[in-house]
Amino acid sequence: MSNTKAIERRVLITGGASGFGLAIAETLLAQGAQIAIGDIDSDRLREAVQNLDKGGDLLSLELDVTSPVSAKAAVGACQETFGGLDTLINSAGVIHFAPLAEIRESDWDRVVDVDLKGPFLCSQAAAPLLCENGRRGRIVNIGSDAAKIGCPMILSYCAAKFGVVGLTKALAAELAPYEVTVNCVCPVGVSTTGMGQTVLDWKIGATGQKIDEILTGTAAGIPLKRNATVADVVNAVMFFLSDESAFLTGVALDVDGGLLSTMPVPGTKE
């Protein structure tokens, strides 16, 4: 693999003050890229800016991905500060646990608005600038294993993330004439992110198990016999930003240790 660098990239990362978004920002900044992190949590945003390595240009933006006005303002700020934009990482996300009978419309709307409408609005706002950059234009959406398989108790999250995969493929088709690629990374849960901790807390309450028991059980169910890490997800995103992925678009890549792609056979080694 060539040593493709992100130093020339101008990147907007939604949900950039925590989790995958923050880790992606850290990686790109270390390569000298120009990075804008957008987040609705102003306190977390300030903390992220204080902690990030200033090896590259860093812009922080209060961003509500559910607002078209806010999305357009964020893209405009990138254009003004960086002179353009060639990369969008849609990482902002929320999750809600409830059985079907107890899901409130407001909770459903919040998850779908952030997790699905958010990537749409930000992609819509960023597309004109991305298309100006031709083959360097990139959109990477953060999906989930719940974008590929139905999961109880998180109906709104599943619906939204399935939608993100569909949005990815439709955007890939529409932006292909401009040589902009659009791909999606679909990881299994990572317990060290904010959302991962939320999921872990729910599992503790639902099962009564201890954290170590839950993580051990989760790892045992993955063919590669370990839990996913933030680095696994960041590496997949960085691949989609590299020249090596230039002929890939509309891909929803499972970062799951083989969980959704394999099936154990009785009598074989597990």
Answer yes or no: are the C-beta atoms of 144 and 91 closer than 8 Å: no
Q: Kindly tell me if the per-residue pLDDT of 135 is higher than 80.
A: no
Average pLDDT, the chain: 92
pLDDT band at 67 (very low <50, low <70, confident <90, very high): very high
Residues of the chain above pLDDT 70, percent:
93
Q: Which residues form the catalytic set?
A: 157
Proportion of the chain above pLDDT 90, given as a percent: 79
Q: Work out the pLDDT band at 56, boundaries 50, 70, 90.
A: low
At residue 63, φ and ψ (nearest 5 deg) are: -130, 125
The answer to which of 122-131, 178-187, 201-210, 229-238 has the lowest mean pLDDT is: 201-210
Give the number of other CB atoms < 10 A from CB of residue 32: 15
pLDDT at 213: 92
Query: Rounded mean pLDDT of 8-34?
Result: 94
Segment 124-147 mean pLDDT? 93
Q: What is the DSSP string of 8-27?
A: T-EEEEETTTSHHHHHHHHH
Tokens of 123: 């992609």
Over 70: is that where the pLDDT of 181 sits? yes
The larger pLDDT score, comparing residue 192 to residue 180, is at: 180
Strand partners, 12: 36, 88
Query: pTM score > 0.75 for this model?
Result: yes
Q: Could you tell me the fold of the domain covering 10-190+228-255? A: Rossmann fold (3.40.50)
- Rounded to an integer, the average pLDDT of 71-86 is 96
pLDDT at 224: 92
- pLDDT at position 47, please? 94
Q: What is the pLDDT of residue 266?
A: 64
Determine the pLDDT at residue 270: 65
| DSSP-assigned beta bridge partners for residue 183 | 140
Confidence band of 4 (pLDDT split at 50, 70, 90)? very low
Q: Using pLDDT thresholds of 50, 70 and 90, give the confidence band for residue 200.
A: confident
Task: Tokens for 266, please give them.
Answer: 């009785």
Characterize the bridge pairing of strands 252-255 and 138-142: unpaired
H or E stretch including 206? helix 194-207
pLDDT higher than threshold 50 for residue 1: no
Boundaries of every domain in the chain: 10-190+228-255
Q: Which two tokens stand for residue 179?
A: 């040589």
